[in-house]
C-alpha cells in the first residue's frame, strides 16, 4: 500500500482556501496535516475539502493558531490537545487567571498510520514567557508520543516545530544570533524526541542544497532562498523505514497570496 502524507503551515485556511484546494487536487496527498488555521473549529471549510474526498478534523479558536487533519484513507480515534498540555501565561498576566491552553495539536489514525499534526509555539524571544512555554510544550509532546514512538504501528509527528534542527537548516546562522529557533534548549527538545526512537525524516533537496520549508515574506527572502527548515516529520522506525521519497513542494510557495511555508510531502510504501 502506498500512502502520501504531507504537512503544511497554511497561514490562514480561510485566506488560502483556493490554494489549498488546488494543491490537494494536484499533489493528491492521502493525509494532510495543517497548522496555523486562524479559524475556529466550526468555521473550518470541511464541506469544501469533503468535495475532494477528504474527511477532516479541526481544532481552532479563531486566533493565530489552530491545527487540522485531512484524510481520504480514514480518520479515527481523533485526539485534540496533548495530555497534560501546558497553557500560556504572559509575564504580566493576572496570577488569578488560568493559563490559556491553545489549539496546537491534533492526532488521528489514518488507515495504517497514526499521526499528530502539531504547531509548536514560536517562542518569540529567548527571555520571553513564550519561550519558556515553548520548552514546556515540547516536553509535553515528548510524553504524549512516547508509547506510539515505541510501538509497531507506523507513527509520525508532523508540523511546524518552529525549531531548525541543525545549523545547516537556516540560511545564515549569524542572522539568528541571540534569536529563537536555533538555541540549544530548543534543539534539545528535538533531541529528546530522537531519544524515543523518532527519526528526523529530512526531505531531499530539489532546486537548492538545503530543503528549507519557511521563507519570510519580506526582503525577497523566497527568491533569494533565505529560509529555514522548521516544518518537520519525526517518525518511528516502521514509518521511517517505509519512506520512499520526501520533498518540499516549493511550487506551492510561489506567486501571490501564498503561505510563507511550503508543504512537505512524504511518500510511504507500507
160 is catalytic: yes
Residue 128 annotated as part of some ligand binding site: no
130 is catalytic: no
Say how many C-beta atoms besides its own lie within 10 A of residue 155's C-beta.
26
Residue 162 annotated as part of some ligand binding site: yes
User: Which cell is 235 given?
Assistant: 517518525
Residue 260 annotated as part of some ligand binding site: yes
Residue 216 annotated as part of some ligand binding site: no
59 is catalytic: no
The residue from 30, 54, 88, 119 that is catalytic is 119
User: Which cell is 171 given?
Assistant: 540560511
d(CA 47, CA 36): 19
Contact at 8 Å (CB) between 59 and 70? Answer: no
Residue 65 annotated as part of some ligand binding site: no
CA-based max dimension of the chain: 53
Residue 130 annotated as part of some ligand binding site: no
The residue from 160, 169, 231, 249 that is catalytic is 160
Q: Would you call 8 exposed, middle or buried from its count of C-beta atoms within 10 A (0-12, 13-18, 19+)?
A: buried
Contact at 8 Å (CB) between 261 and 221? Answer: no
Binding residues for Mg(2+): 9, 36, 160, 162, 260-261
Q: Which residues form the catalytic set?
A: 119, 160, 261
Binding residues: 9, 36, 160, 162, 260-261
Amino acid at each position: 500500500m502506498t500512502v502520501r502524507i504531507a504537512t503544511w503551515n497554511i497561514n490562514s485556511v480561510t485566506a488560502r482556501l483556493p490554494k489549498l484546494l488546488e494543491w490537494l487536487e494536484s499533489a493528491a496527498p492521502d493525509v494532510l496535516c495543517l497548522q496555523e488555521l486562524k479559524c475556529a473549529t466550526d468555521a473550518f471549510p470541511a464541506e469544501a475539502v469533503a468535495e475532494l474526498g477528504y474527511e477532516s478534523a479541526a481544532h481552532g479558536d479563531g486566533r493565530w493558531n489552530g491545527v487540522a487533519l485531512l484524510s481520504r484513507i480514514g480518520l479515527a480515534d481523533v485526539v485534540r490537545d496533548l495530555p497534560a498540555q501546558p497553557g500560556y501565561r504572559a509575564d504580566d498576566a493576572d496570577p488569578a487567571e488560568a493559563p490559556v491552553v491553545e489549539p496546537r495539536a491534533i492526532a488521528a489514525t489514518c488507515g495504517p498510520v497514526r499521526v499528530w499534526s502539531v504547531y509548536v509555539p514560536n517562542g518569540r524571544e529567548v527571555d520571553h514567557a513564550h519561550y519558556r512555554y515553548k520548552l514546556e510544550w515540547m516536553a509535553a509532546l515528548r510524553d504524549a508520543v512516547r508509547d506510539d514512538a515505541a510501538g509497531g504501528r507506523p507513527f509520525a509527528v508532523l508540523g511546524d516545530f518552529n525549531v531548525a534542527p541543525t545549523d545547516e537548516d537556516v540560511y545564515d546562522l549569524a542572522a539568528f544570533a541571540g534569536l529563537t529557533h536555533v538555541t540549544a534548549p530548543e534543539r534539545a527538545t528535538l533531541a529528546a524526541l530522537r531519544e524515543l526512537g523518532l527519526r528526523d525524516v529530512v526531505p531531499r533537496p530539489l532546486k537548492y542544497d538545503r530543503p528549507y520549508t519557511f521563507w519570510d515574506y519580506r526582503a525577497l527572502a523566497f527568491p533569494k532562498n533565505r529560509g529555514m527548515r522548521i516544518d518537520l516529520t519525526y517518525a518511528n522506525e516502521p514509518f521511517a523505514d517505509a519512506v520512499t521519497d520526501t520533498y518540499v513542494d516549493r511550487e506551492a510557495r510561489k506567486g501571490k497570496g501564498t503561505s510563507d511555508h511550503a508543504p512537505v510531502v512524504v511518500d510511504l510504501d507500507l
